[in-house]
Structure 1
């Protein structure tokens, strides 16, 4: 019997038709989000890698770390479970003009420097790639 709504059916198979349409669309959306995220990460890496290295006199005003955790379940019964984490280290520099900026530590400097250290910092895009501590910190150019 035609109910006047075109090909809309309300029989016993209608729910399956809806699910066979909805599930592939949701999987496609998740796939697109992952691809866009990967492309964005690649573009950000390429931008930083191609940026020129600049060296400035600066003071380290803070350090922080950011731990990202991921969790995965394997198999149908979720008995296999694995987690992984990655720690990102950031160093904030204050320059002679008072400007502060946070940089991602890509050269493992985090454990080698302390807050209050002054010296020449080499930065490349959003990365800090080197820091040479000033051994004469009594002659500070900061306030």
Structure 2
């Protein structure tokens, strides 16, 4: 039995197929990027260096209709050489750090490990 709906691709079925391929491609790209960053961080040496907290910022993402949101926390550290690095930290760490804090920053690649605050007299 011949059914033209299944034999000839319509614009709608092509469009839906392209959307599906696009979504799958975006997911694969993001997973690959995450694996690449994780691998790079694992291969990087763990460094502990003197640093100062220079700035703090948050990034809030909203997930549309259901009013769900997530917050990412970032802290900018300045090293004695004048170089700066912005690292993603947990909400707890973000709350415990203040701009102007001085201490020893431990990080591995782009991964924040810890910040040991030092008392400046």
* TM bin (shorter chain): 0.7 to 0.9
Q: 1:84 to 1:38 in 2, by over 3 A?
A: farther
Q: What's 1:119 paired with? A: 103
Does the CA contact (< 8 Å) of 1:107 and 1:128 recur in 2?
A: no
Larger of the two Rg values belongs to structure: 1
1:101 deviates by 1.2
Q: 1:57 aligns with which of 50, 53, 74?
A: 50
Cα separation, 1, equivalents of 2:61 and 2:38: 18
Instruction: Compute the RMSD of aligned alpha carbons.
Output: 2.3
Query: Structure 2 unaligned runs (5+)?
Result: none
| Correspondence for 1:141 | none
Write the distance in 2 (CA, Å) between the matches of 1:108 and 1:43: 27
SS of the counterpart of 1:116?
A: coil
Please state whether the residue corresponding to 1:98 is helix, strand or coil.
coil
- DSSP 3-state at the match of 1:110: helix
- Name the structure 1 match of 2:36: 43
Instruction: Write 1 or 2 for the structure with the bigger share of helix.
Output: 2
Structure 2 counterparts to residues 41-120 of structure 1, below 5 A: 41-71=34-64, 81-106=65-90, 108-120=92-104
TM-score by length of 2: 0.80
Deviations 1:84-127 (A, max 9, x none): 22211111111111111111114842111111011111011112
CA distance in 2, matches of 1:111, 1:17: 55
Q: Which residue of 2 aligns with 1:32?
A: 25
TM-score by length of 1: 0.69
Task: Point out where structure 1 has 5 or more consecutive residues left out of the alignment.
Answer: 1-12, 72-80, 139-143
Q: Residue 97 of structure 1: SS of its match in structure 2?
A: coil
